[in-house]
């Protein structure tokens, strides 16, 4: 490919990724008119080529249309791309990479659109899942506007370590099967965690007795979901609490939902696992 064709290559990569000329121009440090000129037959200055390649996370060779596969700096390029993405867009960008990895694990080379394109085809109410299960690990992915997540678990290598032993699961499930405890956790996760409270908050909002509110406090403290502070008020020492939110509770709800409502609508599904999950 001649140097004059670089502009067409830039236009092709930009359109494939759904990027505006202004975005590329801002990253490289030129005007949008300059990008437009490249794409219509012009040629970028040679010193700009590395920065243009960085923007698309490709090699300079790729700008010339040379399909040389070099994975030596792939992780660095992905990390740099994420770092250069605005904070408010990072999680969406990383979720797109997860979508690509899920398809690659299935055996497809992702050449089509982003997760947003796929979700637009699904519609706002449809829930899709994806799961790759092999003897080397498994994935679980929520692919939808309603509920998005990605879990990847490589196969546990240390077979001498029984990581699930010595954990009192039965007491945990018993504690959180109490409706008032569960309702308290949901309530606190909807509330500003910086705001301190007393047991009376549960009494008023959950419509429960004071003794029950005390029991809930004990349970939440057991799982380190609360920390307490002693304050002096009206010549008395009072105990106030602050909630310590954890994403583990939300993850717990997500996967409990899958156990209760078994997914049956998959974008990708590979059940090629022969090993038991627990050793």
Topology of domain 3-83, per CATH? 434 Repressor (Amino-terminal Domain) (1.10.260)
Topology of domain 169-248, per CATH? Arc Repressor Mutant, subunit A (1.10.10)
pLDDT score, position 159 = 55
pLDDT score, position 157 = 72
Domain(s) labelled CATH 1.10.260.40 in the chain stretch across 3-83
Per-residue pLDDT band at 70 (split at 50, 70, 90) = low
Inter-residue contact 258 to 218 (CB < 8 Å): no
Q: Residue 37 in 3-state DSSP?
A: helix
Domain(s) labelled CATH 1.10.10.10 in the chain stretch across 169-248
Mean confidence (pLDDT) of the chain:
88
Model confidence over 31-57: pLDDT tens digits? 999 989 988 888 888 888 888 888 887
* Range with the largest mean pLDDT of 1-5, 76-80, 232-236: 76-80
Buried b (16+ CB within 10 A) or exposed e, 161-195: eeeeeeeeeeeeeebbeeebbebbbeebeeeeeee
Model confidence over 99-157: pLDDT tens digits? 999 999 998 877 667 888 888 888 777 789 999 999 999 999 999 878 899 999 998 77
Q: Residue 129 in 3-state DSSP?
A: strand
pLDDT score, position 161 = 53
Which of 74, 85, 90, 21 shows the shortest CA–CA distance to 52? 21
């Amino acid at each position: 490919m001649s140097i004059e064709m670089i502009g067409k290559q830039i236009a092709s990569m930009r359109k494939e990724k759904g990027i505006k000329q202004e975005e590329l121009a801002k990253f490289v440090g030129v005007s949008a008119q300059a990008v437009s000129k490249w794409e219509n037959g012009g040629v970028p200055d040679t010193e700009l080529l590395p920065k243009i390649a960085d923007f698309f996370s490709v090699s300079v060779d790729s700008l010339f249309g040379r399909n040389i596969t070099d994975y030596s700096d792939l992780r660095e390029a992905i990390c740099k791309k994420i770092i250069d993405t605005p904070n408010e867009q990072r999680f969406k960008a990383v979720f797109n990479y997860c979508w690509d990895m899920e398809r690659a694990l299935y055996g497809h080379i992702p050449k089509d659109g982003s997760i947003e394109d796929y979700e637009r085809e699904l519609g706002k109410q449809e829930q899709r899942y994806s799961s790759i299960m092999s003897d080397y690990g498994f994935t679980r992915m929520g692919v939808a506007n309603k509920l998005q997540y990605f879990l990847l678990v490589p196969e546990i290598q240390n077979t001498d370590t029984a990581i699930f032993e010595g954990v009192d699961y039965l007491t945990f499930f018993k504690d959180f099967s109490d409706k008032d405890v569960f309702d308290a956790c949901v309530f606190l996760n909807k509330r500003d965690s910086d705001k301190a409270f007393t047991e009376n908050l549960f009494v008023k909002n959950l419509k429960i007795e004071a003794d029950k509110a005390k029991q809930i406090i004990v349970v939440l403290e057991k799982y380190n979901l609360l920390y307490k502070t002693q304050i002096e008020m009206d010549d008395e020492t009072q105990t106030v609490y602050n909630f310590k939110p954890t994403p583990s509770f939300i993850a717990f709800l997500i996967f409990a939902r899958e156990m209760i409502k078994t997914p049956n609508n998959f974008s990708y599904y590979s059940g090629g696992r022969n090993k038991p999950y627990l050793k």
